[in-house]
Structure 1
């Protein structure tokens, strides 16, 4: 299901917060007001591709923060499994200390509301949603389980969203911050190519 242009479905769920504490009732909508959000799903803790993504998000976290963007991760594991994974050193298959919130979706209700469940295994696919400050989903991409996501591309999408919001111009293929954009008109297109 395509959720782009729709409000991001709300959820209230157990969470391991970035300060290491556990809460039972993290309210997604309430906790993310006035921020851009990267909401991403992964299949399971203590697996293989998943830690590379979670650690990569963590390494880039300061860049997301500069863009007024919060990261929130979701899987079907319990908050206690998330915590154990954080307490396991990276070189032993863990993820180390994470600077963003990890949500527990044991029943699979959140992944179902975002329509990202694997049709056979029941775990989440590698889904990423970029949500603007108004709670509108602006970008979504879903990878099958073997393929990790590109964190730099997610940063580029946030740049494009913020650029468009500020200037009204649109971002052509392969656009990056600092590159030429175009006015959304025939004249704008001609000017861009000239």
Structure 2
């Protein structure tokens, strides 16, 4: 039995019900305090700091089945239907971002796209997601990178025009009508394993995303757990009182 399964059995995290209405309600309670404009949404506020202690935190999506989704996406320069079910048996990384034709967003999407081969080697598909239409996505990919566009993309760009996907994954700022920079890693069994959210001014790290996937896969394959700052090839921990002593004695002299 894997470490997260042992922990879940002890705490009941996976089996405890999480009503969708409560999740949405908790988010809307906090989002109601956020100014309507995207510009204002960039400002750090007391309401956002309060979010860290809101009931929503207790209902994290981590370890739970990923909310199903389907929609139109730009894939290899064409528009076609896409769904989470298409990636069953793979790791899936959802990269939520606020809006097309902006500033930090193209830097992130280009960075993930340019390293898509590394994700493919890890049986992983990265998908960019925003509330823009698929036609807006397509237009952005046809704009050159030196003008703020994306150019050719090696990852799909999913349209969340109804905002429901962003809402279901807890990253939508309701009053601003855009998503925060959420990064969600879903395992091949369809469970959320990582759920990180950045505020809008801060871009995400491709290196860190790859590290997290490698750590998840190492744990699944070997049953050992990955300590702070772990990288592929580094020491891991046997998650038992006796087994862990080898790591602690070697790394805490």
Would you call these one fold, judging by a TM-score over 0.5? yes
Alignment match, 2:182: 127
Q: TM-score, normalised by structure 1?
A: 0.95
After superposition, residues 112-123 of structure 1 pair within 5 angstroms as 112-123=167-178
Choose the corresponding residue for 2:157, options 102, 105, 108.
102
Alignment match, 2:40: none
After superposition, residues 46-85 of structure 1 pair within 5 angstroms as 46-85=101-140
Alignment match, 1:14: 72
Runs of 4+ in 1 over 4 A off after TM superposition: none
Q: TM-score, normalised by structure 2?
A: 0.74
Alignment match, 2:209: 154
Deviation string, structure 1 residues 40-98 (Cα, Å, up to 9, x no partner): 10000000000010001011111000000001111011111111111100000101111
Whether the 8 Å CA contact 2:126–2:156 is kept in 1: the answer is yes
Cα distance, 1:185 vs. partner?
1.2
Matched, 1:177 2:232: yes
Alignment match, 1:27: 83
Greater CA drift, 155-164 or 181-190:
181-190
Deviation string, structure 1 residues 137-173 (Cα, Å, up to 9, x no partner): 1111000101111111110000001000100000011
Q: CA RMSD in A?
A: 1.0
Structure 1 unmatched ranges of 5 or more: none
Cα distance, 1:120 vs. partner?
3.3
Q: Secondary structure at the match of 1:187?
A: coil
Distance 2:112 2:83 in 1: 22
> Which of 1 and 2 has greater Rg?
2
CA change 1:119–1:78 in 2 (3 A) is closer
Structure 2 unmatched ranges of 5 or more: 1-55
- Counting helix residues as a fraction of each chain, which structure ranks higher? 2
